[in-house]
Structure 1
Amino acid sequence: MNLSTLRRWLWPQTSFQGKIFMAFGLITFLSIVSVTAIVYVNMRETIKHNAVTSVSDSIRQADESLNVMLEEIDRLNTVVVTNKNTVINTIMSPNEEPSYEWFLEQKRITEYLSGLIQYKPYISRMAVVGLNGKVFFTGGPWMDRSVLGTPMLNYMLHNGSRHAYFKPEGTADAITVGREIRYNRETVGIVMVDLDYDFIKKTYGVKPTADSMLYVLDEQNGYVYQSESAPSSYAPPLDRIIQIKGKLAGDNDVVEQKINGRSYIVVSRHSEYTGWSTLALIPLDSLLSESTRIRNLMTEVSIIVFIVILIGSHQVSSRTTINIRRLRSMMMQVKDGNLSFPRTEIHSKDEIGQLYRVFISMVDELKRLMEGIRLSEKKKREAELTALQAQIRPHFLYNSLNTIKYLAKLNGVPNIEEVSGSLIELMRGLLGNSNEFLTLREELDYVNSYISIVKYKYLEPIEVHTQIEDDALLDCRVLKLMLQPLVENAIMHGIGPSGEGGFVLIRVYAEHQELRIEVTDNGRGMTQDQIDALLGAADREEMPSRFSSMGVRNANERIVRMFGESYGLSLYSEPGLYTKVEIRFPQIRNSDQSDQEVV
């Protein structure tokens, strides 16, 4: 693996691909570990539960089977001890061995016992032992009067009022079940039945694992049964088994116990019928050896799957982010100022494809804007040059008009002097003042200058009167060139065409905290269509004069745009009588437009 390949695999976590790869790998790793751990733990618990259930059921079934045998034996013993003619009379008979009578008695009782245990394969021997030394039995092994005085017989005599169980020390071929034979409230003998030990082995042959151990203890904590195949190195001594039995909480308990450094599952059961306790010791390591093998196999498979998923996730993340890397490369070109970079087409329909198309459109728009900026800068430089040139023209024009005014005064031509002076004042206000707002007084001065110029155009005098309700209103701020277009429209299109003299009334007053200005003339008036055309509601070709109507409409639009639909111009007219234009304007007394104070 070369350096570039290693670098691609060890992708920095700051990259999008690296984050996807690391996140996918981490999630996969945690998922595999979690699933493997959960499966392994559940499998262990399932194996333990199944083993405990199986052993418990087997012990229960073995105990129940043994109880059935013992109950059957107990019924046989009951039959024997209650048979007076064949059993009790034979035991108490004075006939002794050897004699013919004794031989007949022995034959009779032997046949009787043989009939009882016939078809009972789990019974190896049945015997009747009289305390007077008479011994009768059927089956094997041989029994004679030497049984008298043995621990087994003594045990039977002390515990055989109902039934007694005894396993001779050092023998492993039978379990003896005995019961007293009583006559006239005195014990005259013992009936004993030997249970074949092979049936015990088969009954308690519970082995979930090869080295499992099972112990059956009687009420005196002596072995009734012990697993023979248990390794001697692992088999605990009797005192340890008794100690474990004492620690069990109940008759049917399951605990985990450590014995000689090895962990066991101990399953116990206590028989109410016999009083015996059964303990099954299952080594955990042997029981879970298969689960350990499966765990190792699962670990190996998980590692292989994890490696395959890592390789797949690297490929998926690489394919997923290849378009992102292409888009990033193009963005870096734009960052360096290269808007004509070679474009790598991204045809995907997902979000990356959408982002690419938005980015390309943004770059195209940026190129268009930058081209527009270059053109704007070029036009700006041209405009600056034009403005520099135009800066000279007003001064030249003012000086020229002043010269004309001076010459008119020297030659005694007052009308030319008046027109020149009015034109100077009008141009100085229009060209020299860049403010959008003026006081009403200044606006009226411009109107008067305009009237002084235009009145010489007509033969008949045109009277212009101004009515100011309150001189304080002259300090209100109004839009520049708001009145002049209205007066011009009244003179040129209202009074002028009639060829007769007329008058124009400019009335200024306040109403509802608004500044109201009325411009009324006694000219020829207008129709409603002409009013609509003047305000721009009709086709512009029907306008009486392009420039005058543009001034009126412009004044209305400026007021509405700045102060809202509740302000503006209203026209009232009667053809042949009059025309009145009413301006509604807020009372503004602040000279700064940004700090207008509407009263």
Structure 2
Amino acid sequence: MKLFSVKKLISPTVSIQGKIFVAFSLVTLLAIVAVTSIVYLYMRETVKNNALTSVMDSIRQADESLNIRLEEIDRLNTVVVTNKTVLNTLLSATEEASYEWFQEQKRIEEFLSAVIAYKAYISRIAVIGLNEKVFFVGSPWLDKNVIKTPMMDYLIQNGSRHAYFHQTGSNDSIVTGRHIRYNRETIGVVMFDLDNEFIKKIYDVKPTPDSMLFVVDEKNEFIYQPDNSSVAQETIIKLSQELAGSNASVEKAIDQRSYLVISRKSDYTGWSTLALVPMESLLSETVRIRNVLAEAAIVVFIIILFSSLQVSSRITRNIRRLRSMMMHVMEGNMTLHAVEIRSKDEIGQLYQVFKSMVEELKRLLEGIKTSEKMKHEAELAVLQAQIRPHFLYNSLNTVKYLAKLNGVPNIEEVAESLIELMRGVLGNSNEFLSVQEELQYVRSYVNIEKYKYVEPIHVNIEIENEELLQYRVLKLMLQPIVENAIIHGIASAEHGGLVLIRVYKEQKELRLEVSDNGKGMSDEQIKALFEVKEGGTYTRFSGMGIRNVHERIVRLYGESYGVFLYSEPGRYTKVEIRFPLLPSTDSA
């Protein structure tokens, strides 16, 4: 109750520090909100400009990629129209289905195949003579009926250098061609068909998932348009005409939705590329920026809160120091490490009173500790005085002598072991002895206990290093552990019992481990081993249980040492004693 009262006194619900902290927090919050809003608006505009630049670059790269392919086709056009095989074939008078015609077809198709070899973007190459000779490689199928089509007329009229024609319908593709001339007269046309999937791949530019891109030629025909277009073609053509011949961007309301329209015209083909990007999708990036700004604002706000807390704490510094001292005392630390409070106000007076109280408490605790030590020593003295050693030695020697005279070696062995055990317990007043002596007491105890059971008791001792036998331990540490292993562990087991004692060093500690293969122990049984029996005494031979051994070690060396028990019912029990390394030169 006293500790609870102290906690209430040093934890006020309302303080000057809290008021200052709240005031600083409100001012800081208003400032951060204002600055964050300004930065967000600026970043929003910046994101919009960056998106515009990105879309323009994407369109430019698509146009340049297509231009590179068209320039390559133009060079192939030149190769074809100047080839002697092509000219000779178109000028020859051979008729179709003759042997000479088949030879010409073979030669020209081999030449055309070589021209477009490894050009995956070319779906077909054809040489068409005005004399109705048609040769082609690729697909789709082509015959002499192509001569009477509008495409042929367009290529003948505009094919002095190169011309482009957009086929629609089932053969949706882009055709680029050039007429073939001989003696300044047009004798035919060579044309290349670009794969429509190649065009779609080049112009499949999507700055945002719902953006759209259109390519319109000079005849207002669509070279490319997205499959999911929600904007009418008339609207796109109108926008193309409004922005014709310019590389610009405008915001337009189309079908009650705001779009950023970006236009670019190719100098090589004359085609116009229009990108329609919805404004809400374009500015969706600002949502992420807003979240980042909010997170940054929260971090800054927390930092400023911490700073304001530090500033406000200066006003109540002495109160906090006194509170810290009280908390240390509540935790059992009687040493005041804090800086002394020298103020002359009420806090200084409280500090002097508290300091006097701690000194008096330390004095009382030292007295209690001394009394407990004297009490413990008195208990050991009373324990050893309960039986007179000389009388007991003489009696046991008489039993041993009579057993030897009557030829009873087991009684002789028991008597001799009991004499050795009693000599160590009653004849040695030191609280410490060597590991070797402690193991000898255990051997004597086992020699006595083994005659109580039908099945033999096997006790094995493993020493990691012979030097460990000379280290000093508390007297009678192992005997209660081994006794518990024999009586509660393997005595009631149906099979032969085994007790293993290991002595080793680990993590700068001396470890004594006792394990058995008996019936094991439950959590309740383990807990009972560390409890005092009825009447405040122990019922075992030594007068000390496992709990007593644990408390003796903890009292001298702290909570990190003592007895640690591990068990699994029906399988095993392992008791580990952790003890500091005390060489034989240490005083008992």
If the length of structure 2 is used for normalisation, what is the TM-score?
Answer: 0.47
Q: TM-score, normalised by structure 1?
A: 0.46
Bigger radius of gyration among the two:
1
